[in-house]
Amino acid sequence: MKFLDQAKVFIKSGAGGAGCVSFRREKYIEYGGPNGGDGGRGGDVVVEAVQGLNTLIDYRYQQHFKAKRGIHGMGQNRTGADGQDSVLRLPVGTQVFEDDNETLIADLTEVGQRVVLARGGRGGMGNAHFKSSTNQAPRHAQPGEDAVEKWIWLRLKLIADAGLVGLPNAGKSTFLSATSRARPKIADYPFTTLHPQLGVVGIDEHEFVLADIPGLIEGAHEGQGLGDRFLGHIERCRVILHLIDGADMTVAESYKTIRRELEEYGAGLDEKPEIIAINKTDALLPEFVEEMTAELRAVTDAPIFAISGITGNGVTEVLRALYRIIREDRAREDAEAAKAEAADAGAYRDRDDDAHDGHDSGESETGERPWSPEVTL
């Protein structure tokens, strides 16, 4: 399946059905009166996050989504049927933006999450609603509410625990292939990876998701090479694994190049925890590896490992270091969620206790007992 992480689509909700002007006409009933029914409500346009999808390719070929309009009201007080909703099923991690591609409407981060993008129009009221003592035969009804239509952008950001970054041909695809069941394209020329890849990595009976994005070069934030559009796929990562080609004699400059691109991109990528791995050390002498490590330690405080994606040397240690950071971040998130839940529960109990105390005492907020009529038997 071809990977697509961005698409522009047109959505339109359903208009409301019009109310009906009708009068009851039956034999032997002289004054039937109005009996026009209400119009049905128009359908909504809804986005829903579902499992099993990792691309927006379906929205390349179908770009218009319209909900059904409500059915008009009918005589005998019959209400028109509501219009059917139009549901856009999207991968988890999809963001929905307005036509300007900057204003965020929805961020789908959990399976089953649903957001209404365009509400259907309300149905108009029939003439039965307008009868009164002074107007016993109304001859007008409401039209249905208009539909809502607009263009929106869908942008997919893959959800992974760790992200791989580095210059082209640093061995990112080889590393992903060696540590997971993913089978990305591997070749001896740059830019073999043209779109992000995901793999589930297992280490010490634990698992986490690793994302590999196309290689960055200097000037990627200005559109050089494949640009930096794929960096959005590691915005949600908890930790970054920075692979450096051991065959490169200027490892410090290579490291600084990638760091500059992360800083230019923004979104907090340069502030995420980072682990550095010098790859392809199976083809290097130990003293060269030590020199590269010392050169990198002069420009960064991040942990540095020497590995080989081909032979597997040092890979286990890197995976353990990655999982350690991921585990700590998950624990922090769980603690914050538990704390917030406890605070909400405490606030709810306080409100319930206040209401219970007021009910027992029979007093109002002003301290006075509420008035009650006397009952005489």
Query: Is residue 280 part of an annotated ligand binding site?
Result: yes
Query: Is residue 64 part of an annotated ligand binding site?
Result: no
* 331 dihedral zone (left: phi>0; alpha: psi -120 to 50; beta): alpha
Tokens, residue 219: 């000037």
Query: Is residue 184 part of an annotated ligand binding site?
Result: no
Query: Is residue 128 part of an annotated ligand binding site?
Result: no
Query: Is residue 162 part of an annotated ligand binding site?
Result: no
- Dihedral angle, C-alpha 338, 341, 345, 346, nearest 10 °: 70
Query: Is residue 310 part of an annotated ligand binding site?
Result: yes
Query: Is residue 193 part of an annotated ligand binding site?
Result: yes
Query: Is residue 233 part of an annotated ligand binding site?
Result: no
Query: Is residue 372 part of an annotated ligand binding site?
Result: no
Separation CA 268–CA 210 (nearest Å): 19
Query: Is residue 356 part of an annotated ligand binding site?
Result: no
Burial of 71 (0-12, 13-18, 19+ CB in 10 A): buried
Query: Is residue 55 part of an annotated ligand binding site?
Result: no
Query: Is residue 279 part of an annotated ligand binding site?
Result: yes
Query: Is residue 282 part of an annotated ligand binding site?
Result: yes
Q: Decide: 163 and 241 in contact? Cβ < 8 Å.
A: yes
| Range 243-262 burial, b when 16+ CB lie within 10 A, else e | bbbbebeebbebbebbbbbb
Q: Decide: 11 and 63 in contact? Cβ < 8 Å.
A: no
Give the residue carrying structure tokens 């995901």: 198
Query: Is residue 82 part of an annotated ligand binding site?
Result: no
Query: Is residue 301 part of an annotated ligand binding site?
Result: no
Query: Is residue 131 part of an annotated ligand binding site?
Result: no
Secondary structure (DSSP) of 246-293? TT-S-HHHHHHHHHHHHHHH-TTGGGS-EEEEEE-GGGS-HHHHHHHH
Query: Is residue 171 part of an annotated ligand binding site?
Result: yes
Tokens, residue 42: 């128009």
Query: Is residue 13 part of an annotated ligand binding site?
Result: no
Secondary structure (DSSP) of 319-348? HHHHHHHHHHHHHHHHHHHHHHHHHHHHHH
Query: Is residue 213 part of an annotated ligand binding site?
Result: yes
Separation CA 168–CA 171 (nearest Å): 8
Secondary structure (DSSP) of 178-191? HHSS------SSS-
Query: Is residue 269 part of an annotated ligand binding site?
Result: no
Q: Which residues are annotated as a binding site?
A: 166-173, 191-195, 212-215, 279-282, 308-310
Binding-site positions for Mg(2+): 173, 193
Q: Which parts are annotated binding residues for GTP?
A: 166-173, 191-195, 212-215, 279-282, 308-310
